[in-house]
DNA sequence: GTTTTATACTGGTAATGACCACATCACCAC
DNA sequence: GTGGTGATGTGGTCATTACCAGTATAAAAC
């Protein structure tokens, strides 16, 4: 049994969270009941304050749910593409057993115009990569992405790199950058003619326009504008009740 | 100054939250500093435990943010839905300082057909409420929702109940049910004529169709089909990199 | 002047002890 | 059988106390 190190500089409730997550992921099933709070106090020599704080965070993170008077239980695992975690087209398609292909339609270095500069929190005129990729899964067009990446942060990216590997893999392996967070904003839009053609859908089908801002710390390392075909792509998200 | 009623059956931290929200919305600006936790303790005669619990909930709900060593501040108002937490139209609109109204267009108890039964993991023929609500914020139509709720779990719901309070408030106060989790699936769709009329938008503007499954433990307590007008609603989500 | 130190704020972590509210079940009275 | 009733286990709320960890500032030392 893992133990709590009371002399560690890591807060006790964090340590307990890690122990419990490990327990949940490796030894428990959905809807299994956790030991009661008081049992956990006993077992690890912690106060109920600390135990409740740990469990409260786990609840917030979607690992468990509580029922007053009954107990605390392992939350059902998330299904499908879940927006609550970081998303990579390449990774996700592999997970679904499909063959992901990136077709780089254009690739250039441009000077950021006013809009791009504002979106990326940079100065107008800063050099940025701009590349358009058509993403296919098993040869079916799924997404049309226009991506902007600061040139000064990641010099030497070539078109071929993007065709062979995912952007995130490249940032990690070539530049040692592992994005910490991303924000996506999406809204339904009428599909434009040129987009419809590339995605091989009729214009009558609306698309989902997704703006993505990817951060490493507080620096934006990627700004992407995606058109996702509305007939094939569905977004799924799990919301947790924070009370 | 509003006071805390220590004899109320409403938890003190909830009462404090309401007071603080009121304060924030009516007398404070973005990034204004709140009184320190200890000051609030003093002012309302509460323990720091309670004050911290209230503030912690406000932080989760996006009202405030904290800075260690400095203070607690009013969070910037976001205009967007944040999918990372549980969402209630009523609550969200209040948070944005808008007046939410639910216009119940129809209300009946029906027998679940095959589709509804499958979606709700119930048997065909089970009686369920079906109600259609047009949700408005400051008199502007925002959403058109068709909701299904099992009748046997929540007997005695009336049309008027839905007009006066949020569904989640009702489930909680009348039936003691506090949903633990919700799952949403959304896709862009062409706005139907009747929907366009109710939402007061032209059919050319695509809408977002959102299916929502709300769970209490492993029981589905609500299945809702929403049409959100694509010109006004934008969904925003934060993705964290868990690696 | 600059740098260091003290100190007095802020929120963060933690233990302890008490009592409340809800769920379950065994038991008893009817 | 049905309906209470009480015991017991669960999570929920709350006060009190203590100390830790960042932040800012002003006093002291250089």
pLDDT of the residue at A80: 34
Are residues A208 and B188, on separate chains, in Cβ contact within 8 Å?
yes
Residue numbers in A near B181 (CB within 8 A): 62, 65, 75-76, 238-241
pLDDT of the residue at B82: 41
Same domain for A110 and A146, yes or no, is yes
- Quote the CA–CA distance of B127 and B116 in Å, as a whole number: 11
Q: What is the CATH number of the domain that holds A222?
A: 3.40.1410.10
Same domain for B70 and B112, yes or no, is no
Question: What percentage of chain B has pLDDT greater than the value 70?
Answer: 81
| Highest mean pLDDT: which range of A27-41, A58-72, B2-16 | A27-41
Judge if the beta carbon of B82 is closer than 7 A to nucleic acid strand C.
no
Among all chains, which residue has been given the structure tokens 């948070």? B95
Residue A239 pairs with which residues in a beta bridge?
B182
Within a domain: residue B5?
A: no
Give the CA distances from residue A30 to residues A33, A75, A234, in Å, rounded to whole numbers and listed in that order: 9, 6, 25
Same domain for B86 and B70, yes or no, is no
Stretch B21-47: mean pLDDT: 87
- Quote the CA–CA distance of A143 and A212 in Å, as a whole number: 13
Same domain for B112 and B182, yes or no, is yes
> 3-state DSSP helix/strand/coil percent for chain B, to nearest 5?
30, 35, 35
Within a domain: residue A239?
A: no
Which residue, among A52, A58, A57, has the nearest Cα to A37 in the 3D structure? A52
Within a domain: residue B46?
A: yes
Same domain for A62 and A116, yes or no, is no
Residue numbers in A near B186 (CB within 8 A): 234-235, 237
Which range of residues forms the domain containing residue B45?
12-74
Residue numbers in B near A143 (CB within 8 A): none
- Quote the CA–CA distance of B135 and B198 in Å, as a whole number: 10
Taking only the tens place, the pLDDT of each residue in A131-148 is 999 988 778 888 899 999
Residue ending a domain, choose from B74, B96, B115: B74
Q: What is the CATH number of the domain that holds B22?
A: 1.10.10.10
Taking only the tens place, the pLDDT of each residue in B121-159 is 888 888 889 999 998 877 888 889 999 998 888 877 888
Within a domain: residue A150?
A: yes
Same domain for B34 and B153, yes or no, is no
pLDDT of the residue at B88: 61
pLDDT of the residue at A241: 44
Same domain for B27 and B122, yes or no, is no
Nucleotide nearest to A51 (CA to C1'): C14
pLDDT of the residue at B87: 57
Residue ending a domain, choose from A32, A47, A74: A74
A187 near B CB under 8 A: yes
* ipTM associated with this complex: 0.52
Residue ending a domain, choose from B39, B58, B74: B74
Same domain for B57 and B138, yes or no, is no
B10 near A CB under 8 A: no
Same domain for A104 and A218, yes or no, is yes
Contact A129, A171 (CB under 8 A): no
Within a domain: residue B86?
A: yes
pLDDT of the residue at B59: 82
Within a domain: residue A94?
A: yes
Same domain for B175 and B231, yes or no, is yes
Neighbours of B110 (CB within 10 A): 13
Report the 3 state secondary structure along B152-187: CCCCCCCHHHHHHCCHHHHHHHHHCCCCCEEEEEEE
Chain A and chain B share a number of CB contacts under 8 A equal to 134
Same domain for B46 and B108, yes or no, is no
Within a domain: residue A104?
A: yes
Which residue, among A194, A215, A196, has the nearest Cα to A207 in the 3D structure? A196
Of A87, A205, A236, the CB nearest to B239: A87
Q: How many folded domains does chain B comprise?
A: 2
| Highest mean pLDDT: which range of A82-96, A97-111, B84-98 | A97-111
pLDDT-derived band at B77, boundaries 50, 70, 90: low
pLDDT-derived band at B92, boundaries 50, 70, 90: low
Crossing angle (nearest 10°) for helices A48-60 and A12-27: 60
Give distance CA A227 / C1' D13 (Å).
49
Within a domain: residue A198?
A: yes
Taking only the tens place, the pLDDT of each residue in A148-167 is 998 888 887 888 888 777 78
Looking at per-residue pLDDT, the higher value among B37 and B215 belongs to B37
Same domain for A38 and A93, yes or no, is no
């Amino acid at each position: 049994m893992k133990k709590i190190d009371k002399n560690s500089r890591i807060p006790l409730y964090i340590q307990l969270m890690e122990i419990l997550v490990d327990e949940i992921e490796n030894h428990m099933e959905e809807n299994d009941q956790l030991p009661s709070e008081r049992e956990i106090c006993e077992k690890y020599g912690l106060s109920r304050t600390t135990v409740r704080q740990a469990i409260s965070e786990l609840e917030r993170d979607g690992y468990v749910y509580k029922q007053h008077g009954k107990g605390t239980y392992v939350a059902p695992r998330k299904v499908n593409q879940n927006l609550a975690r970081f998303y990579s087209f390449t990774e996700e398609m592999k997970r679904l057993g499909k063959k992901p292909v990136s077709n780089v339609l254009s690739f250039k270095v441009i000077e950021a115009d006013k809009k791009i500069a504002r979106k990326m929190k940079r100065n107008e005129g800063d050099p940025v990569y701009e590349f358009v990729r058509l993403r296919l899964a098993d040869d079916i067009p799924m997404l049309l992405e226009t991506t902007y990446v600061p040139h000064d942060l990641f010099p030497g990216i070539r078109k071929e790199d993007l065709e062979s590997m995912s952007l995130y893999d490249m940032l990690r392996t070539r530049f040692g950058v592992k994005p910490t967070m991303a924000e996506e904003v999406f809204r339904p839009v009428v599909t434009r003619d040129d987009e419809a053609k590339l995605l091989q859908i009729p214009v009558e089908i609306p698309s989902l326009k997704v703006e993505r801002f990817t951060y490493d710390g507080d620096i934006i390392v990627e700004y992407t504008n995606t058109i996702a075909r509305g007939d094939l792509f569905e977004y799924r998200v799990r919301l947790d009740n924070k009370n």
